[in-house]
Amino acid sequence: MTIVKAVVRACEFWGLTNKEASDLFDVPIATWCRMKAGTFRGRLDQDKITRASLIVGIFKALRILFNREMVNSWPKATNTGPMFQGRSPVALMIEGGIPAMLRTRRYLDGLRGGL
């Protein structure tokens, strides 16, 4: 599954722990580890497809906006912007699920001048 590989790759670039990545993708750690190992053979439901699309979209938006160091560090960096209120984007997205992931994606799209 190409989309699973893309999600795993983005989470690896961002330096997420297995716990953070599994929480962000909303799967058990054991499932996440199978995804990382390339042995996952399950089907993705609509929730996971939506999360995957958002993660990949956020990754792409970061690549357009920032240099490589910021692409990798921004998701886990403390952000003082009003939307994040001192939390990292990853912490916000884990806590808020798909709605917070959508807001983060829109925030980045707004930074690059599109919505």
Q: pTM for this structure?
A: 0.93
Q: What is the DSSP letter of 41?
A: -
Is residue 27 classed as helix, strand or coil in its secondary structure?
Answer: coil
User: Residue 96 is encoded by which pair of tokens?
Assistant: 């808020």
Q: What is the mean pLDDT of residues 44-71?
A: 94
Quick check: 57 pLDDT over 90? yes
**How many domains does the chain contain in total?**
1
Mind listing the pLDDT tens digit for each residue in 65-99? Answer: 998 888 899 999 999 989 999 999 999 999 999 99
Tell me the CA end-to-end span of the chain in Å, nearest whole number.
Answer: 29
- What is the reported pLDDT for 67? 83
Q: 55: number of CA atoms within 13 Å, CB side?
A: 30
Domain around 77: 2-111
